[in-house]
């Protein structure tokens, strides 16, 4: 993406495929008209898979410039690979925590995409967020480290969050209770 900030119009256009009542042909016209700046924004905001799906499912992808098709296809493939790796990680974590008797639940992006999107690849996630009970945080951390994960605590979040990584997927473990907008424990 160029060094300048994206225009408000490009920000709006980047979200076109997410709008329920958008004519698919208008998506095709917008991406052509928006040119490289819009395409760069779409890719930077992880919207490439959504654009690829919307255009392909309406037989509009082939009508685009070859560089646009290639960029959207690469974004879709990368999102597919990321999803498959994260899905495998979630399955492994389920087995790991079940074996240790630790209740856990996937939250945020990695979970939402499974529930909301027709294809989870359409909602890329940069990590996997897992919520566990505060009483289980040490056992969960030990189980993760025994399974080959490394801990990367952030001083600002150490009281309620720890990041664990085992290449290539990042996973966050949130041992404290979450609160809703009214301050109630979730």
Domain ranges of the chain: 8-64, 84-174
* β-sheet bridge partners, residue 183: none
SS3 31: helix
**172 with 162: CB under 8 angstroms?**
yes
Gap between the Cα atoms of 149 and 142, Å rounded:
9
Contacts of 73 (CB under 8 A, 6+ apart): 52
Q: What is the pLDDT of residue 179?
A: 43
Percent share of the chain, pLDDT over 90 = 65
Domain 84-174 listed as CATH 3.50.50.60: no
> 117: exposed, middle or buried (C-beta count within 10 Å: 0-12, 13-18, 19+)?
middle
Q: According to the model, what pLDDT value does residue 65 have?
A: 97
pTM of the model: 0.78
Sign of CA dihedral 155, 157, 161, 166: negative
The pLDDT tens digits of the residues spanning 69-116 come to: 999 999 999 999 999 999 999 999 999 999 999 999 999 888 889 899
Q: Residue written as tokens 């979200």?
A: 15
For the chain, what's the residue count?
186
Lowest mean per-residue pLDDT among 65-79, 112-126, 141-155, 167-181: 167-181
| CA–CA separation, 158 and 175 (whole Å) | 10
Q: Is 76 exposed, middle or buried (0-12, 13-18, 19+ CB in 10 A)?
A: buried
Helix or strand holding residue 131 (H, E): strand 127-132
pLDDT bin (cut points 50, 70, 90) of residue 30 is very high
pLDDT tens-digit map of 35-79: 999 999 999 999 999 999 999 999 999 999 999 999 999 999 999
């Amino acid at each position: 993406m160029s060094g300048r900030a994206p225009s408000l119009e490009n920000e709006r256009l980047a979200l076109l495929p997410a709008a329920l009542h958008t004519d698919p042909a208008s998506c095709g016209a917008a991406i052509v008209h928006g040119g490289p700046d819009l395409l760069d924004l779409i890719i930077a905001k992880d919207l490439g898979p959504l654009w690829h799906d919307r255009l392909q499912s309406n037989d509009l992808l082939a009508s685009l410039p070859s560089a646009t098709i290639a960029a959207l296809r690469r974004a879709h493939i990368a999102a597919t690979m990321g999803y498959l790796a994260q899905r495998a990680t979630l399955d492994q974590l389920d087995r790991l925590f079940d074996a240790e008797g630790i209740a856990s639940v996937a939250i945020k992006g990695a979970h939402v995409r499974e529930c909301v999107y027709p294809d989870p690849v359409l909602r890329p996630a940069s990590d996997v967020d897992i919520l566990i009970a505060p009483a289980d945080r040490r056992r969960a951390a030990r189980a993760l480290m025994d399974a080959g994960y490394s801990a990367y605590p952030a001083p600002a979040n150490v009281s309620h969050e720890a990041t664990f990584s085992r290449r290539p997927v990042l996973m966050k473990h949130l041992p404290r209770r979450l609160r809703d907008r009214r301050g109630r424990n979730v």
